[in-house]
Amino acid sequence: MFSVAVAALVCALAPAVAAAQEAPAPPSAVETSMLQEDVYLGVIDLQAYCQHFYGGDIFLKDARSAYGWECHYNVNERIPINMYAACQLQYREPWARAGFSDRRNAYSWFCYLSPR
């Protein structure tokens, strides 16, 4: 099992991105601090999610926002990624949750389990 310190280290190693105007947060996930009883699962494979549900690729519209990821499919169609669904698909865990450590960093997403 991974500790909160390991989760923080993984997030800290993500590429640093300068702060910019923040996009409003969709209801798919929240900025979170994991509690000691939470179990870190790992980073999210967004490409696998987009392939599974849309047969498309990931698209990063804004690296300065945790909400900058979309699935790109067909010619020019894009849809925001449901991070909870991506975690549940990847880890085959219906109670998996998505969180990020920095709302101004698209690379700060992770999955975890919480007894709450």
Domain layout of the chain by residue ranges = 4-17+26-113
Count of alpha carbons within 13 angstroms of residue 79, beta-carbon side? 14
Q: Which residues contact 93 (CB under 8 A, 6 or more apart)?
A: 41, 87, 113
pLDDT tens-place values along the chain, 116 residues long: 444 333 333 333 333 322 233 333 433 455 556 677 789 999 999 999 999 999 999 999 999 999 999 999 988 899 999 999 999 999 999 999 999 999 999 999 999 998 76
